[in-house]
Chains A and B, each alone.
Chain A
Amino acid sequence: MKSFKLKIITPEKVFFDDETEQIIVRTTEGDIGILAGHENYVADLPAGPFRVKINGNYKIAAISGGAIKVSKDAVTILAMAAEWSEDIDSEWAKRSHEDAIKRINESKSDYEHRRAELKLKRALNRIKISSMK
């Protein structure tokens, strides 16, 4: 299978920088699979799962919001945070889930509510993905 260059960048580090055969990523418009030679494409990413195929095997990671950019010679994913499913601290994710629910119930303004909701989505995404190995 033809491979292409994939780079996943977060504000803390370059999370992934290697050749890959296929990726499947969830955009705001739905899941999209990308193979080598894809047209130029840019989409917004909510918190969601991300699959990358390396040597025929899929690896799953959790992405906490960002954007994907496909250009002629490379695919770049800008993620606020990214973790492989096996690296997710599910205890921490559960605590953050409870905290998010608490914040939603206690939120006084639109702004607080919106932020808590995003936090809840990130936590749920992490919990879900940590169970998909």
Chain B
Amino acid sequence: MASSNMKDIKRRIKSVESTKQITKAMELVASSKLRKAKEKADNAKPFFNTLYDTMCEIVKEDATFNSIYTRKRKNNVTLLVVVAGDRGLAGGFNANVLKLAQSRYDELSQNSEVVILPIGRKAVEYFEKRNFKIMTRYENISESISIYGAMSIADKIIDVYNKDKIDRVELFYTDCISPLVQEEKHIPIIPLDIEVDRSNVSLTNYEPSPEAVFDSLIPRYIAGVLFGAIVDSFAAEQAARRTAMENATDNANEMISNLSLVYNRARQAAITQEITEIVSGANAQE
């Protein structure tokens, strides 16, 4: 009886140990991917900040400025771009951003149409299962996304926007504030909301025209926003996974130490019992 119990415990310790090895490995992989993604996101920042500043200046200098990307339209169809991960096992990472998108969907779908553009397998699965209207789906692109990849998504969105099939574009993603803090974000992309203070205007010569420059910057700007959101989400996913796996490893350690204690007690009890049996056997012979 006691020995079979001990065997069971031994088996459980082994199984927990192998799980621990997996979670530990996942933790290490996630932290190295997190570092790389963080770097990629940081390198892209100067480019898009300058781009945004230039666009702001155009709007600022031209009081009569008007572009189809800043004009508000009647909200008939809204496109929600939702960025989630390709894999699970990352704590609440996927669930949190999907929940935020879902609540916005519920709000909008009461009196207008909503189309979804999911990025990441978890987002695609979520919206497909619920039979939402999907424009295009993107899976397994987050890790190796290049600026051209983001550009192609941006072009697609702009193409549909220019054909008047959508009137608003909003983006949902997870911002990786620090390796320990991630926050779900919801930002409107089109129409662009640029607020400027027109007090300090310097005159600039635009070629061919302010509008033409602005309109050609727009796809790059949107690509930049998407690129940033995808890379940031990927970093956040890795950070969330690292934390989740760190906790899992800690839990495994705790389980192993509890089980070892139980195992040692059982072993001790078995030995004690054996001694008692021998002693009582010897006593009976006397």
Chain A positions near chain B (C-beta within 8 angstroms): 9-14, 27-29, 39-44, 66-67, 69, 71-72, 76, 78, 80-81, 111, 114-115
Contact = CB atoms under 8 A, between A and B. Distances in A.
Contact of A9 (B50, B58, B205, B213): B50
B155 interface: yes
Interface stretch (B27-35, B40-48, B241-249): B40-48
Given A40-B203, A80-B147, A81-B147, 6 more contacts: A11-B44, A11-B147, A42-B57, A43-B213, A44-B217, A67-B217
B212 A44 contact: yes
Contacts of B206: 41-43
Contact of A42 (B47, B205, B220): B205
Interface of B: 43-44, 46-48, 50-51, 54, 57-58, 147-148, 151-152, 155-156, 159, 202-208, 212-213, 216-217, 220, 224, 227
Given A42-B213, A111-B155, A78 B207 contact: no
A43 B210 CA distance: 9
Given A67-B216, A80-B220, A12 B44 contact: yes
B43 A27 contact: no
A27 B207 contact: yes
A111 B43 CA distance: 29
B59 to A, nearest CB: 12
A44 B208 CA distance: 8
Contact of B208 (A28, A41, A66): A28
Closest 10 CB pairs of A and B: A40-B204, A43-B207, A11-B147, A44-B216, A11-B44, A11-B47, A9-B47, A41-B205, A29-B207, A42-B206
Contacts of B51: 67, 78
A121 B58 CA distance: 28
Contacts of A12: 43-44, 147
Contact of A11 (B48, B202, B212): B48
A115 B148 CA distance: 10
A42 B207 contact: yes
Contacts of B50: 9, 69, 76, 78
Contacts of B57: 42
A51 to B, nearest CB: 19
21 contacts: A9-B50, A10-B47, A11-B43, A12-B147, A29-B208, A42-B204, A42-B213, A43-B208, A43-B213, A44-B207, A67-B217, A71-B202, A71-B204, A78-B47, A78-B50, A78-B54, A80-B148, A81-B147, A111-B156, A111-B159, A115-B155
Interface centre among A9, A39, A115 (most CB of B within 10 A): A9
Contacts of B202: 40, 71-72
A97 B125 CA distance: 36
A71 B204 CA distance: 8
A9 B224 CA distance: 13
A115 B159 CA distance: 12
A123 B203 CA distance: 36
Contact of B152 (A44, A67, A69, A115): A115
Nearest to A28: B208
Contacts of B205: 39-42
Contacts of A14: 46
A38 to B, nearest CB: 10
Contacts of B44: 11-12
B203 to A, nearest CB: 6
Nearest to B46: A9
Interface centre among A14, A78, A114 (most CB of B within 10 A): A78
A41 B204 CA distance: 5
A69 B54 contact: yes
A69 B50 CA distance: 10
Nearest to A65: B220
